[in-house]
Each structure stands twice: as C-alpha cells, then as structure tokens.
Amino acid sequence: MVREKQAFLRTLIRFLDAGLIGLAFILSYFISFYLREAYHLGEMAYAISPDMGGLLYFTRKNVALVGFYLAGWITALTFVGAYKDLRTQTLASSIVHIVSAGAFALLTVGTPIFLFKMVLTSRLFIATLWIVTVSLLVVMRLLANRMLDYLHTRGYNHVNLLIVGTGKRARDFIRTVRSHANWGLTIVGLIDDDHGMFGKEVE
C-alpha cells in the first residue's frame, strides 16, 4: 500500500511538472515578446503577435523544441532523483535537483536547434524559458512540501514502521524520525532476537 501511494505521488508530481513546463513555455513567449518591445531588441522569429494566435503559431514553428525541452526536463528530474523519497525530501534538496536537471535540459534544447537547423531560435526566449521553468518548479515544490508537512503533522497519510533491531543504528533512526514529525512516519515498535529487551523502551 505504501509503495502504491508513493508511485501515485511520483506520477502526480511528474504530471504537474510537465504542466508547469508547458506553462513556462507560454509565459516565456509573452515575457520575451514584451522584453523585446520594451528594450527595442528587435523582433523574435515566428513571434507575430502577443496573443493566443501568435502563441499557437510560434508553438507550431517550434514544436520540436517544445518536445525536446519537455522530455529533457522530465528525464533529467527523474535521473537526478527528484521523484525519489518525496516524503523526506527537503526544499533545499529539491532546488538542487531542479537546477541540476535544468542544466541537462539546456543541453537538450541544443539538440533540436542543431538537428533541425533552427538558426532563428531566440537566445532571449531560451534564457527566459529556463528561468521561468526553474522558478515555477521551485514554487511548486515549496507549496507541495508545505502541503505534505501540514497533512503529516495532522496525522494524515502516515506510515507505520516496525524496526528490526535495537542497536545504535535503530536508536539513531528513531531519533531522526522523531525530530521530523512532518515526514509522517510513526514507529509502532521494534523486534529483536534478544528476549531480554522485551517490553523495554529503546529511546
């Protein structure tokens, strides 16, 4: 049951990430469009107007870029471990995962540009897209961590643990779990082959 919950949560986070990356593409189109107008940076290729029609035209002309960028991000996030140990993952580690994955995603952007000779691709748009993507993913992780912490501290989505052994490692683990109530882990007992430990408190 625990594995199923974790698998569902990982899948949900992946879908949310994919949605945010798509949203980042949309926002970056409008942001880079207005930046070019505000600072007289010239026109951006295939950016015909700052509206949905212009966005759709721009997307059709850059569909390979969108595909590689999205796949690159999700693959990189998976590879760096962004979807592992979600229950105990800190915001700091999430940010490290996102930035690390972002570096790989930037490399994947270069692939379609080279293969499809997309010489008109705007560097400003790529930079804006990367910054917006990282920002949205970090904000989402912050909100997700806060929500999970809130649920765990109120007794929802808890996982009961039965620890094998009563040695130093077991005691250290118990102290760690007790100092992180927001993880949603509850130690219900310990088992050991030393009958003399029966009924005693280890920590």
Task: Indicate the pLDDT class of residue 119, thresholds 50, 70 and 90.
Answer: low
pLDDT in tens, 153-172: 777 767 777 888 777 888 88
Task: Indicate the pLDDT class of residue 147, thresholds 50, 70 and 90.
Answer: confident
In this structure, the number of other CB atoms found within 10 A of the CB of residue 50 comes to 14
Answer yes or no: are the C-beta atoms of 94 and 122 closer than 8 Å: no
Rounded distance between C-alpha atoms, residue 131 and residue 147, angstroms: 24
Rounded distance between C-alpha atoms, residue 202 and residue 177, angstroms: 14
% of the chain beyond a pLDDT of 90: 43
Find the mean pLDDT for residues 137-162.
81
Task: Indicate the pLDDT class of residue 142, thresholds 50, 70 and 90.
Answer: very high
Question: Does the structure show a pLDDT above 90 at 24?
Answer: yes
Tokens of 141: 């992780």
Task: Indicate the pLDDT class of residue 1, thresholds 50, 70 and 90.
Answer: low
Find the mean pLDDT for residues 17-46.
93
Question: Does the structure show a pLDDT above 70 at 140?
Answer: yes
> What pLDDT is stored for residue 145 in this prediction?
84
The DSSP bridge pattern shows strands 185-191 and 159-164 to be: parallel
CB neighbour burial string for 71-88, b if at least 16 within 10 angstroms, e if fewer:
ebbbebbbebebbeebbe
In three-state secondary structure terms, 162 is strand
| Identity of the amino acid at 147 | M
Task: Indicate the pLDDT class of residue 82, thresholds 50, 70 and 90.
Answer: very high
> What pLDDT is stored for residue 75 in this prediction?
94
Rounded distance between C-alpha atoms, residue 115 and residue 195, angstroms: 68
Task: Indicate the pLDDT class of residue 73, thresholds 50, 70 and 90.
Answer: very high
Task: Indicate the pLDDT class of residue 29, thresholds 50, 70 and 90.
Answer: very high
Answer yes or no: are the C-beta atoms of 188 and 160 closer than 8 Å: yes
Rounded distance between C-alpha atoms, residue 84 and residue 82, angstroms: 6
Find the mean pLDDT for residues 10-17.
93
> What pLDDT is stored for residue 193 in this prediction?
75
Answer yes or no: are the C-beta atoms of 81 and 96 closer than 8 Å: no
